[in-house]
Amino acid sequence: MQAATAQVKFEHRPNANPMPQAEREKAFENLGFGTLFSDHMAVVRWSADKGWHSAEITARAPFPVDPASAVLHYAQEIFEGMKAYRTADDKVVLFRPEQNARRFGASAERMAMPVLPEDIFMQAVEELVRIDSAWIPKGEGSLYLRPFMFAAETFLGVRPAREYVFCVIASPVGPYFKGGAKAVTLWVTETYTRAAQGGTGAAKCGGNYAASLIAQAEAVGHGCDQVVFLDAAEHRWVEELGGMNVFFVMNDGSLVTPPLTGTILPGITRDSLITLARDNGITVNERPYSFDEWKADAASGKLREAFACGTAAVVAGIGTVRHAGGEFKIGNGETGFLTEKLRNDLVGIQRGKASDKHAWVHPLAGV
Ligand code: PLP
Ligand code: COI
């Protein structure tokens, strides 16, 4: 499916009852992840006969959904996750948003959905952040942006839908993990897998997460923060976490991370950290890493640190790993030195405190 090049004009229908400032600031005092939402949303519709149309910035509100809406039956849905930050000098910035726009297009292609032109994706995100800029927390928090698209045609036949809704909502967030900066504990599932070759692992579609929930619940049941998936073919190779990519820091100072072979999500944080590490003269090996190697390297000390990374979680040290056969610690069980450094380097750029030599930061004018 070709990306249309059409531009759209967003109609603005501001929320008549925005949350009062005092109430919003009170809610900001205890930010978690994904529970509080801003006043507006961006919406663009697509139909086979009209293409992209009816773009608007409007009050955040429920969608009327027909019970025969295709998404409710066949899960034709994709999404993105990105953040708007308020920098130390009070500018509003996005981080590599064009990468999210591009990945959204790739996810759409995999799910047989129309490809939203990247400029419309950017326009929707920017206009929403502009109108809801008061919702970007100061200090450590950020405004998490969730662009998504779903099949909205009323039809039960199994084929790509002929109507879709694209929408962006915004949620002020604090830390993803309840423990804050504390190293996380992972559960390695040897029962469930996330993605197979030829499947949808590299697409950011809701179905991948639906399939991961039972494994994530198993992780929580074992007192862990996140689940780790192994490959579907051999149940041997480490792939990624339920919602994050994974890195290993070896005792020769090099990094290892699973390669992008089509079954894991090509994380923008992953890509940024590989670049930052190489900028620092660190060797990064994108290569298969087995669960057996992981256990052996943690025991021998060849593995010094490990961390998870993603937009929501940023960079989180991995302290303990549990599995059906027992558990092991990585290093002293706390966030490691290089993990901390890479996190600070990344956050420094996102927050406008460090030089942005790769031009990753996208400032928003007029906010
Ligand atoms: N892997 C999965 C399964 C994810 O859900 C995410 C989060 O978006 C990531 C990796 C990290 O991707 P990114 O760094 O682009 O947020
Ligand atoms: C993100 O990091 O943006 C994600 O989409 C992960 C999700 C599990 C919260």
Give φ, ψ of 167 to 5 degrees: -145, 150
User: Does domain 184-350 correspond to CATH entry 3.20.10.10?
Assistant: yes
Whether 310 lines ligand 2, by a CB cut-off of 6 Å, is yes
Q: Among all ligands shown, which has an atom nearest to the Cα of 103? A: 1
Q: Report domain extents, the chain.
A: 11-173, 184-350
- The DSSP line for 60-95 is --PPP--TTBHHHHH--EEE--EEEEE-TTS-EEEE
Tokens, residue 91: 């500018």
Instruction: Decide yes or no: CATH 3.30.390.10 for domain 11-173.
Output: no
Write down the pLDDT at residue 177: 85
d(CA 220, CA 237): 22
Give the number of the atom of ligand 2 that is nearest the alpha carbon of residue 313. Answer: 2
| C-alpha–C-alpha distance, residues 256 and 245, integer Å | 12
pLDDT at 202: 98
| Alpha carbons within 13 A on the beta-carbon side of 198 | 1
- Structure tokens given for 74: 């066949």
Contact of 354 with 346, CB cutoff 8 Å: no
Q: Report CA(314)–ligand 2 centroid distance (Å).
A: 10
- Ligand 1 center to residue 312 CA distance, Å? 8
Query: Which of 127, 137, 164 has the alpha carbon at shortest distance from 13?
Result: 127
Q: Quick one: tokens of 201?
A: 């692992």
Question: Both tokens of residue 203?
Answer: 């697409």
Give φ, ψ of 215 to 5 degrees. Answer: -70, -35
- For residue 199, the Cα-to-chain-centroid distance in whole angstroms is 19
Q: What is the pLDDT of residue 39?
A: 98
Pocket of ligand 1 (CB under 6 A): 81, 240, 243-245, 265, 267-270, 310-311
Shortest-distance ligand to the CA of residue 240: 1
Q: Is 245 helix (H, G, I), strand (E, B) or coil?
A: strand
pLDDT value at residue 178: 79
- Report the chain's mean pLDDT, rounded to a whole number: 96
- Nearest ligand 1 atom, CA 268: 15
Give me the pLDDT at residue 97, please.
98
Residue 241 pairs in a beta bridge with 228
CA distance 132 to 130: 6
Q: Which atom of ligand 2 is nearest to the CA of 146?
A: 3
Residue 247 CA to residue 306 CA, distance in Å, equals 6
Centre of ligand 2 to C-alpha 34, Å, is: 10
Helix axes 97-110 and 268-279, enclosed angle (nearest 10): 130
* pTM score of the predicted model: 0.96
Distance of CA 122 to the CA centre of its chain: 17
The tens place of each residue's pLDDT in the chain, 367 residues long, gives 444 455 789 999 999 999 999 999 999 998 989 999 999 999 999 999 999 999 999 999 999 999 999 999 999 999 999 999 999 889 999 999 999 999 999 999 999 999 999 999 999 999 999 999 999 998 889 999 999 999 999 999 999 999 999 999 999 999 888 777 789 999 999 999 999 999 999 999 999 999 999 999 999 999 999 999 999 999 999 999 999 999 999 999 999 999 999 999 999 999 999 999 999 999 999 999 999 999 999 999 999 999 999 999 999 999 999 999 999 999 999 999 999 999 999 999 999 999 999 999 999 988 8
Q: For ligand 2, is residue 147 a contact (CB within 6 Å)?
A: no
pLDDT at 4: 46
| CB of 201 sitting under 6 A from ligand 2 | no
Rounded percentage of the chain residues whose pLDDT exceeds 90: 93
Q: Which residue has the tokens 């590490």?
A: 277
Mutate which of 107, 311, 346 to test ligand 2's pocket (most atoms within 8 Å of Cβ)?
Answer: 311
Strand pairing of 284-286 and 255-257?
parallel
273-310 residue pLDDT tens: 999 999 999 999 999 999 999 999 999 999 999 999 99
**pLDDT for the residue numbered 303:** 98
What pLDDT score does 6 carry?
57
